[in-house]
Amino acid sequence: MQFRSAEFTVGAVRAADLPVAGQPEIAFSGRSNVGKSSLINRILQRKKLARTSSTPGKTQQLNYYWINEEFYFVDLPGYGYVRGGVTLREKLGRMTRGYVEKREPLRAILQLVDARHGPTELDLMMIDWLRAMERPFLLVFTKIDKLSRSKQKQLFDRLESEGTLAGISFAAFSAQSGQGRKDVLGWIEDVLEDRLT
C-alpha cells in the first residue's frame, strides 16, 4: 500500500463533529501512552502528522486523518490515565464506546498493547469487548524493540498458553525500527478490500 496523501482533518469531541460522507474508517485504540500516534506516523512514514507526547492522556478527542482521499485513520483517546481526572476520563470513555458500538463507517480496529507490560487488565477487558462486538481487530504489540527476542518469545508463548491470543490476529510492532509495519499494512489492506473473514 502506497500513501500518496495524509492530512489531519478534525478532532471530534462529540458525534456532531464526525465526518458524514461515510468513507471507511480504521481506528487505533489502546491505553494512554501505548504509542498510537507513533504507530500512525510510522505506518504513514510521516514524522509529525500525529502529535506524540511522553505525557500520557494527551489525546482527548477522536483525531481523524484523511488518507489517500479514500479512507480515515481515527486515533481514539487512550484509556487508563487521562489528564483532567475522572470526569474527563468517563466522558472520553463514553465517547469511545459510542463510536465503536454505533459508528457505521468503522471497518476495523487496531488494538494496541505495550509489549513491555501487557496485556493489562484494561487491555483484556477491551479485547473481550471487541470480541463481543464482533468488530474485526488486530492486536498490535507496540514497543517490541524494548524486548529481547527471548522475552518476546516468552510473552507470546505465555499468551498463547493462557488462551489470550486464541483466534486473534496479532502483530509485533516497533515505531523505532519499523518492525511489523508490513504486517500491519497488509492487514489494513485486507480490511479495506474486504478480504477478512
- C-alpha to C-alpha distance for 27 and 194, rounded to whole angstroms: 16
DSSP class of residue 17 equals G
Please list the residues that pair with 170 across neighbouring strands: 139
Q: What sign does the dihedral 143-149-150-153 (CA atoms) show?
A: positive
Q: Which residues contact 66 (CB under 8 A, 6 or more apart)?
A: 5, 6, 7, 8, 9, 72
* pLDDT attached to residue 8: 92
Q: How far is the CA of 43 from the CAs of 3, 10, 49, 174, 186, in angstroms?
A: 9, 20, 11, 10, 11
- C-alpha to C-alpha distance for 75 and 83, rounded to whole angstroms: 17
- C-alpha to C-alpha distance for 118 and 34, rounded to whole angstroms: 10
Alpha helices per DSSP H over the chain = 36-44, 85-102, 121-133, 149-162, 181-192
* pLDDT attached to residue 90: 65
Q: Is the pTM of this model over 0.95?
A: no
| Site of grid cell 468488530 | 135
Phi then psi for residue 101, to 5 deg, are -75, -35
* pLDDT attached to residue 67: 95
- Cβ contact 109:130 at 8 Å: yes
Residues in the chain: 197
Q: Which residues contact 38 (CB under 8 A, 6 or more apart)?
A: 50, 52, 142, 175
Q: Which domains does the chain have, with CATH numbers?
A: 6-192 (3.40.50.300)
* pLDDT attached to residue 188: 95
| 10-residue stretch averages of pLDDT, the chain, 197 residues long | 90 85 93 90 87 54 93 88 53 77 94 92 90 92 94 90 87 94 95 77
Comparing CA positions, the residue from 176, 173, 195, 168 lying closest to residue 184 is 173
Give 183: exposed, middle or buried? Use CB within 10 Å, 0-12, 13-18, 19+.
middle
